[in-house]
């Protein structure tokens, strides 16, 4: 009997998961549930003899019903929002195995306040000082009182939006920055969080840290945590890392599990943080975590590996680097997760460097309204001829052709021995993605640039030097200070 | 000479005038005669005047200049053509070097007819000069262009996800909390719009970087076209030591620019380096003061000697450049007459400045250039130095590590880069 999998989601991440499922030696049938017709996923689903269903996947009853109706053997949830709504719970309650965090454990992504409290309660390394506010005036008062380098975030995951990171190292510019902090707190409360009534905590203020960032994506069955190679996303919208924050404009991964600026030791320490968090989640909620947990991490002087955020899913575009190079059969991997036998699995990846570049219509990320509705042509065969692959994201198939939907439309991955070489090949490939209505598409040519890499290696060395100094003096997790006239201050993390 | 900056915040809750002000303060050494800031907050407004940055602007003025986009300049020129405003056909305000007339109007015309990159390209072809500029349009766009020879340095950076910034030197970016991300390449233009940042290479000419930036103009804490200025100046000192090793007791540098040369010279030859002079008041750039009176006042205030250690000693004094010789004459005379040094040898960390600069560096007319009018022996005699030596052009090139074909050495050689596009 053929194995049947239902995949939820329609972004490039799910396209990459779909492709890995289609590669499986078990030749599963893929059923896709998505809110719009992603041409890449649709093509794969149809080719495997499965099918495509267009509909909202946030309703747990609807998803579970659909899975029962189709008689699928497993449900795989790509994005975070269905997890927050309890889709995994509903599916599992109907005795269908599910890859995707149950509501209680997906809380680690949904609520940034929950995540920080958990890390503090269980003394997990890589945690940051934070304050949570339910009320905007309290937040404003705090921001005015403590003008420091901080990050201000919505306390809930809201699709990665609304995060402001403000270094405040020049006293002569502090008052101007404070105005921005206060205004942003008001925006989070009044605009961004207004639509989310499912959470009391509204505004999170966190100490701001600095360093190279990387994503550690792990599979877990609640007992074992299996890490995948590190991937680095590039969040700024435009060339040279200038511009607004986006969901990610492209990624790099090396032919090894680490990145050029992260040591083996730091990789292992990062994995340990995720392992401890999974354990803590179980102790806190009593629920086994079955699915993906990703640490969006940063190398900092405070700890070395530090958690910026957790994802209860694969990253997008980080998923592409992992899914495209994974040699382990994904069905075997998923089976091991749902049966609690993940310790028996060994993950294998092709030893290739990968670079992903996202192509977005002008207007993204600030003006999605004008980025929407543009016709795009993708010359897949020319891209494939370069050894690259295309994944469709925020784009749908209409009768007129491919139409942008306002976010990152197409993602292209390239493979090579080294990151810069993969970047070069990827640059050639992205030329085959064009807008046919005269609108401008953009991508970042600097992702995977050797100079940018070298600068990060240098920055990582500087940071490593400091956190190692702190480690040898047993100062990790401690903040020691002295204020003239007030005396010594010791803050224990 | 001119210093430029531009700040582009990605959300309108920022007020960037104070940031612009501090960036200009950091660029003050590039021009001390006038300064200006323009901002955009749905409409353009600006303020400029003669004087130092902190004379031109105060809290009230900065408070009036509300906006989330800005451009600003400092300049060593008197008049206000460095920042100009045009209402029609395309409203804009521009900061540029003084080379070309009517740049504002020409750009305004072009922008009404072509896309912004094409408009810049056509403007530069019309003007046919290596101009660098920053501009803001009435539509809330910023346009930044670095001259196609790369004579004017220009760096770009960012502060997190909040603003992009451009400045003549990286130190100005750092001063406002922005991380330098790289150089605007010669002939490259950036366009900031409310929803994108685009860059395009409009001219692919051979770069001809201004060697004077490395020798004298730029701050030692800046990095220009990948070369840290301090490192370049240190290597110049090493080259001086190789070319002109002098038996002496102490080495002094003329503050502030020549200090790295002097340190490197002393370290290379195993001589003692000492601080020789303490300045009074503001750090004037004496070479670029317009009147003789101001230059002499500047030099004298800059150079009160520390007398104790130098009496009866043989001293090497290293200067960054000698233009008219005003500073050098004062220094030698102070060291000999007031301090009582036994010997004073002058070393100059640049080749002889013997030609004017057609590209905006304030080199005086040829009849005011000491090296263009006197032989080495005469220079020694006039300045009162025991010996007087210049860095050779070859050594300068070696110290900078830039190919001859990629350097402008016009003020030393009289041979200038081709500008015909």
What pLDDT digit, counting tens, does each position of B195-223 carry? 899 999 999 878 999 999 999 999 999 99
Q: How many CB atoms lie within 10 A of CB A215?
A: 28
Q: SS in 3 state form for A71-119?
A: CCCEEEECCCHHHHCCHHHHHHHCCCCEECCCHHHHHHHHEHHHHHHHH
- Least confidently predicted of A254-263, B79-88, B248-257, B262-271: B79-88
Query: Do A316 and A245 share a domain, yes or no?
Result: yes
Query: Do A466 and A398 share a domain, yes or no?
Result: no
- Contact A173/B197, CB-based, under 8 Å? no
Domain end (from A201, A228, A254): A201
pLDDT of residue B204: 87
Q: Which domain CATH number covers B325?
A: 3.40.50.2020
Q: Tell whether B113 is within 8 A of chain A (Cβ).
A: no
Q: Say what the pTM is.
A: 0.93
Please say if the pLDDT value at position B414 is more than 80. yes
The secondary structure of B63-106 as a DSSP string is: HH---SEEEEEEESSSSSTTEEEE-SSS-EEEEE-TTSTTHHHH
Angle (CA) A294 A299 A300, round 5°: 125
Domain end (from A423, A446, A469): A446
A48 with A26: CB under 8 angstroms? no
Provide the domain count of chain A: 5
Instruction: Decide if B222 is inside a domain.
Output: no
Cβ-count burial of A344 within 10 angstroms (0-12 exposed, 13-18 middle, 19+ buried)? exposed
Q: Select from B14, B156, B182 the Cβ nearest to the Cβ of A180.
A: B14
**Among the listed residues A77, A88, A106, the one whose alpha carbon sits nearest the alpha carbon of residue A293:** A106
Closest chain B residue to the Cα of A150, Cα to Cα: B160
Distance (Å) from the alpha carbon of A144 to chain B's nearest alpha carbon: 16
Q: SS in 3 state form for B247-281?
A: CCCEEEECCCCCHHHHHHHHHHHCCEEECCEECCC
Query: Do B245 and B305 share a domain, yes or no?
Result: yes
- From chain B, the residues in CB contact with A370 under 8 A are 195
A264 with A288: CB under 8 angstroms? no
Distance (Å) from the alpha carbon of A245 to chain B's nearest alpha carbon: 6
Q: Select from A180, A242, A367 the Cβ nearest to the Cβ of B164.
A: A242
Q: Select from A183, A184, A238 the Cβ nearest to the Cβ of B197.
A: A238
Query: Do B284 and B172 share a domain, yes or no?
Result: no
Query: Do A272 and A173 share a domain, yes or no?
Result: no
The secondary structure of A221-278 as a DSSP string is: -SS-EEE---BEE--EEEGGGEEEE-S-SEEEE-SSSS-TTS-HHHHHHHHHHHHHHH
Distance (Å) from the alpha carbon of B13 to chain A's nearest alpha carbon: 6
Please say if the pLDDT value at position B285 is more than 80. no
CA distance B162 to B12: 10
Q: Tell whether B164 is within 8 A of chain A (Cβ).
A: yes
Domain end (from A102, A119, A148): A102
Instruction: Decide if B410 is inside a domain.
Output: no
Query: Do B121 and B249 share a domain, yes or no?
Result: no
Residue B121 CA, chain-centre distance (Å), reads 25
- Domain of residue B13 covers 2-207
Instruction: Decide if A90 is inside a domain.
Output: yes
Mean pLDDT of B152-158: 97
Query: Do B172 and B123 share a domain, yes or no?
Result: yes
| Reported confidence tier of residue B81, pLDDT bands at 50, 70, 90 | low
- Contact B194/A367, CB-based, under 8 Å? yes
Instruction: Decide if B223 is inside a domain.
Output: no
Instruction: Decide if A120 is inside a domain.
Output: no
Query: Do A58 and A18 share a domain, yes or no?
Result: yes
Q: Which domain CATH number covers B110?
A: 3.60.20.10
CA distance B136 to B142: 5
Q: Tell whether A161 is within 8 A of chain B (Cβ).
A: no
Q: Tell whether A178 is within 8 A of chain B (Cβ).
A: no
Among A192, A234, A242, the residue to mutate for chain B (most B Cβ within 10 A): A242
Query: Do B236 and B363 share a domain, yes or no?
Result: yes
Please say if the pLDDT value at position B298 is more than 80. no
**Among the listed residues A298, A277, A311, A381, the one whose alpha carbon sits nearest the alpha carbon of residue A83:** A311
CA distance B74 to A377: 48
Q: Which of residues 388-447 of A touch B (CB under 8 A)?
A: 440, 442
- From chain A, the residues in CB contact with B156 under 8 A are 240, 242
Q: Provide block-wise average pLDDT over 10 residues at a time, chain A (493 residues).
A: 94 98 97 96 97 95 96 97 97 97 97 96 95 94 88 91 90 92 94 88 94 98 97 96 95 97 98 98 96 98 96 97 98 97 97 98 94 97 98 94 96 98 98 96 96 96 97 88 87 81
Number of alpha carbons in the 13 Å side-chain half-sphere of residue A452: 19
- Contact A180/B162, CB-based, under 8 Å? yes
- Higher-confidence residue of B129 and A493: namely B129
Query: Do A187 and A273 share a domain, yes or no?
Result: no
Kind and range of the H or E element at B172? helix B170-175
- Contact A238/B19, CB-based, under 8 Å? no
pLDDT of residue B54: 94
pLDDT of residue A490: 87
Query: Do B185 and B131 share a domain, yes or no?
Result: yes
- Contact A367/B195, CB-based, under 8 Å? yes
Distance (Å) from the alpha carbon of B298 to chain A's nearest alpha carbon: 29
Distance (Å) from the alpha carbon of B35 to chain A's nearest alpha carbon: 20
**Any idea what DSSP says for residue A326?**
B
pLDDT of residue B418: 80
CA distances from B134 to B4, B92, B131, B145, B189 (A): 7, 10, 10, 6, 10
pLDDT of residue B74: 95
Number of H helices, E strands in chain B: 15, 24
- From chain B, the residues in CB contact with A367 under 8 A are 194-195
| Reported confidence tier of residue B289, pLDDT bands at 50, 70, 90 | low
Query: Do B307 and B354 share a domain, yes or no?
Result: yes
Mean pLDDT of B117-122: 97
Instruction: Decide if B309 is inside a domain.
Output: yes
Query: Do A72 and A186 share a domain, yes or no?
Result: no
A8 with A91: CB under 8 angstroms? no
| Reported confidence tier of residue B291, pLDDT bands at 50, 70, 90 | confident
- Contact A173/B22, CB-based, under 8 Å? yes
Query: Do A423 and A305 share a domain, yes or no?
Result: no
Query: Do A224 and A333 share a domain, yes or no?
Result: yes
Percent of chain B with pLDDT over 70: 96
Q: Tell whether A457 is within 8 A of chain B (Cβ).
A: no
Please say if the pLDDT value at position B80 is more than 60. no
Provide the domain count of chain B: 2
pLDDT of residue B359: 87
Domain end (from B207, B237, B255): B207
Q: Select from B156, B176, B194 the Cβ nearest to the Cβ of A173.
A: B176
- Contact B19/A173, CB-based, under 8 Å? yes
Q: Tell whether B10 is within 8 A of chain A (Cβ).
A: yes
| Reported confidence tier of residue B317, pLDDT bands at 50, 70, 90 | very high
A173 with B22: CB under 8 angstroms? yes
Q: Tell whether A171 is within 8 A of chain B (Cβ).
A: no
Instruction: Decide if A43 is inside a domain.
Output: yes
Q: Which domain CATH number covers A69?
A: 3.40.50.20
CA distance B110 to B117: 10
Query: Do A258 and A227 share a domain, yes or no?
Result: yes
pLDDT of residue B282: 67
Query: Do B82 and B127 share a domain, yes or no?
Result: yes
Query: Do B157 and B290 share a domain, yes or no?
Result: no
Query: Do B113 and B54 share a domain, yes or no?
Result: yes
Query: Do A320 and A454 share a domain, yes or no?
Result: yes
Q: At A342, is the secondary structure helix, strand, or coil? A: helix
Please say if the pLDDT value at position B412 is more than 80. yes
Instruction: Decide if B277 is inside a domain.
Output: yes
ipTM for this model = 0.91
Q: Which domain CATH number covers A285?
A: 3.30.470.20
Q: Tell whether B66 is within 8 A of chain A (Cβ).
A: no
Query: Do A345 and A357 share a domain, yes or no?
Result: no
CA distance B316 to B346: 6
Q: Tell whether A454 is within 8 A of chain B (Cβ).
A: no
Closest chain B residue to the Cα of A208, Cα to Cα: B160
Instruction: Decide if A328 is inside a domain.
Output: yes
Query: Do A80 and A165 share a domain, yes or no?
Result: no
- Domain of residue A226 covers 209-351+449-458
- Contact A242/B181, CB-based, under 8 Å? yes
- Contact A370/B156, CB-based, under 8 Å? no
Query: Do B83 and B200 share a domain, yes or no?
Result: yes
Cβ-count burial of A489 within 10 angstroms (0-12 exposed, 13-18 middle, 19+ buried)? exposed
Mean pLDDT of B30-52: 94
| Reported confidence tier of residue B79, pLDDT bands at 50, 70, 90 | low
Q: Which domain CATH number covers A381?
A: 3.90.600.10
Query: Do B236 and B366 share a domain, yes or no?
Result: yes
Instruction: Decide if A487 is inside a domain.
Output: yes
Distance (Å) from the alpha carbon of B363 to chain A's nearest alpha carbon: 35
Please say if the pLDDT value at position B290 is more than 80. no
pLDDT of residue A420: 98
Instruction: Decide if A117 is inside a domain.
Output: no
CA A10, A85, A275, A129 dihedral sign is positive
- Contact B177/A237, CB-based, under 8 Å? no
């Amino acid at each position: 009997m053929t194995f049947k999998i239902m995949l939820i989601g329609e972004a490039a991440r799910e396209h990459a998961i779909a492709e890995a499922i289609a590669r499986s030696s078990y030749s599963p049938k893929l059923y896709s549930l998505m809110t719009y017709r992603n041409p890449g996923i649709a093509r794969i689903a149809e080719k495997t003899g499965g099918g495509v269903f267009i509909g909202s996947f946030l309703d747990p009853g609807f998803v579970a019903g659909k899975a029962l109706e189709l008689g699928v053997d497993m449900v795989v949830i790509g994005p975070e929002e269905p997890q927050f709504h309890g889709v995994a719970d509903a599916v599992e309650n109907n005795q269908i195995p599910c890859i995707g965090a149950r509501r209680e454990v997906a809380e680690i992504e949904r609520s940034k306040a929950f995540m920080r409290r958990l890390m503090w309660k269980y003394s997990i390394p890589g945690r940051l000082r934070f304050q949570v506010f339910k009320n905007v005036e309290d937040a404003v008062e705090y921001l005015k009182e403590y003008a420091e380098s901080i990050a201000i975030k919505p306390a809930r995951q809201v699709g990665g939006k609304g995060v402001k990171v403000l270094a405040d190292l020049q006293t002569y510019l502090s008052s101007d920055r404070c105005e921005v902090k206060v205004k942003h707190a008001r925006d989070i409360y009044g605009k961004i969080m207004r639509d989310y009534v499912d959470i009391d905590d509204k505004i999170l203020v966190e100490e701001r840290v600095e360093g190279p960032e990387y994503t550690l994506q792990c599979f877990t069955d609640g007992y074992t945590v299996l890490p995948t190679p590190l991937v680095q996303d590039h969040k700024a919208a435009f060339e040279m890392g200038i511009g607004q924050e986006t969901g990610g404009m492209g990624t790099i991964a090396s032919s090894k599990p680490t990145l050029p600026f992260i040591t083996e030791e730091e990789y292992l320490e990062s994995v340990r943080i995720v392992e401890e968090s999974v354990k803590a989640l179980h102790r806190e909620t009593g629920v086994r975590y079955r699915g993906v947990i990703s640490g969006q991490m940063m190398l900092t002087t405070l700890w070395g590996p530090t958690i910026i955020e957790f994802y209860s899913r694969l990253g997008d575009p980080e998923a592409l680097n992992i899914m495209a190079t994974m040699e382990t059969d994904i069905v075997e991997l998923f089976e091991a997760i749902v049966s609690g036998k993940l310790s028996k699995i060994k993950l294998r990846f092709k030893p290739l460097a990968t670079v992903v570049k996202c192509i977005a219509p002008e207007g993204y990320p600030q003006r999605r309204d004008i980025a929407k509705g543009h016709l795009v042509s993708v010359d897949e065969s020319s891209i494939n001829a370069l050894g690259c692959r295309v994944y469709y994201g925020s784009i749908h198939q209409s009768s007129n052709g491919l139409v942008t939907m306002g976010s990152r439309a197409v993602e292209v991955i390239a493979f090579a021995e080294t990151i810069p070489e993969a970047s070069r090949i990827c640059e050639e490939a992205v030329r085959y993605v064009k807008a046919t209505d005269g609108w401008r598409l953009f991508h970042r040519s600097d992702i995977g640039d050797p100079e940018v890499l070298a600068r990060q290696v240098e920055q990582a060395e500087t940071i490593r030097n400091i956190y190692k100094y702190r480690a040898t003096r047993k100062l990790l997790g401690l903040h020691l200070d002295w204020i003239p006239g007030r005396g010594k201050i010791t803050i224990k993390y | 000479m001119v210093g430029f900056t531009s700040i582009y915040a990605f959300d309108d809750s920022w007020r960037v005038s104070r940031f612009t002000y501090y960036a200009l303060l950091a660029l003050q050494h590039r021009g001390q005669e006038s300064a200006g800031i323009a901002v955009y907050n749905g409409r353009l407004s600006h303020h400029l005047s003669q004087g130092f940055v902190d004379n031109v602007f105060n809290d009230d003025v900065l408070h009036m200049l509300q906006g989330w986009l800005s451009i600003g300049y400092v300049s060593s020129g008197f008049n206000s053509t460095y920042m100009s405003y045009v209402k029609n056909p395309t409203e804009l305000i521009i900061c540029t070097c003084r080379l070309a007339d009517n740049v504002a109007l020409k750009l305004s015309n072009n922008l009404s007819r072509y896309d912004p990159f094409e408009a810049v390209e056509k403007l530069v072809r019309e003007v046919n000069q290596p101009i660098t500029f920053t501009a803001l349009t009435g539509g809330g766009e910023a346009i930044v262009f670095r001259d196609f020879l790369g004579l004017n340095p220009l760096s770009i950076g960012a502060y997190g996800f909040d603003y992009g910034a451009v400045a003549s030197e990286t130190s100005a970016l750092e001063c406002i909390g922005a991380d330098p991300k790289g150089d605007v390449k010669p002939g490259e233009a950036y366009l900031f719009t409310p929803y994108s940042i685009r860059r395009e290479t409009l001219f692919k000419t051979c770069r001809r970087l201004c060697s004077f930036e490395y020798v004298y103009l730029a701050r030692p804490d800046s990095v220009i076209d990948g070369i840290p200025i301090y490192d370049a100046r240190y290597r110049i000192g090493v080259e001086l030591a190789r070319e002109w090793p002098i038996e002496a007791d102490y080495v002094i540098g003329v503050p502030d620019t020549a200090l790295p040369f002097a340190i490197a010279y002393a370290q290379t030859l195993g001589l003692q380096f000492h601080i020789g002079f303490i300045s009074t008041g503001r750090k004037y750039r004496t070479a670029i003061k317009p009147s003789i009176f101001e230059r002499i006042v500047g030099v004298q205030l800059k150079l009160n000697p520390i007398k104790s250690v130098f009496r009866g000693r043989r001293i090497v004094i290293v200067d960054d450049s000698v233009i008219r010789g005003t500073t050098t004459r004062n220094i030698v005379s102070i060291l000999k007459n007031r301090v009582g040094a036994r010997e004073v040898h002058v070393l100059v960390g640049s080749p002889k400045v013997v030609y004017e600069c057609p590209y905006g560096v304030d080199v005086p007319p040829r009849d005011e250039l000491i090296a263009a009018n006197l032989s080495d022996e005469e220079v020694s005699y006039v300045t009162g130095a025991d010996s007087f030596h210049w860095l050779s052009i070859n050594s300068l090139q070696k110290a900078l590590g830039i190919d001859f074909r990629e350097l402008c050495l016009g003020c030393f050689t009289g041979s200038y880069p081709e500008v015909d596009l």
